[in-house]
Amino acid sequence: MGLKWYAIGVCVLTILVMGSMSVFALSLEEAKVKGLVGEKANGYLGVVASGNPEAQALSSDINQKRRQAYQDIAQREKTNLRAVEMLAGEKAIEKTKPGNFIEGPGGWMKK
């Protein structure tokens, strides 16, 4: 079972990196640095500062791609979607650079 979770982890990291490539003028990295979006424990992006339509659109686009990729992984690995999402969230939070936002139990905070 360890090898299965390792494979899922590798897929998740690939998704997180590939999901950051976007056609939006605002890149994921730029949005994170500006504190507009952050990583959530559920494997998806959240909009930290509401009121920015570009950050919302970027987040929605990336989350849609992540969800599809998570569903593909869950189906391929014969595991449940929630498990893939949670592992992705854990990996994304681990990879978050200091100073960028993550969502914790009390809300948004800088890592």
Instruction: List, for residues 50-82, the tens digit of each pLDDT value.
Output: 889 999 999 999 999 999 999 999 999 999 999
For the record, the structure tokens of 42 come out as: 């559920």
- The set of residues, in sequence order, having a beta carbon less than 8 Å from that of 6 and lying 6+ positions away, is none
Give the whole-angstrom CA distance, residue 75 versus residue 70: 8
pLDDT at 10 exceeding the cut of 60: no
Model-level pTM? 0.79
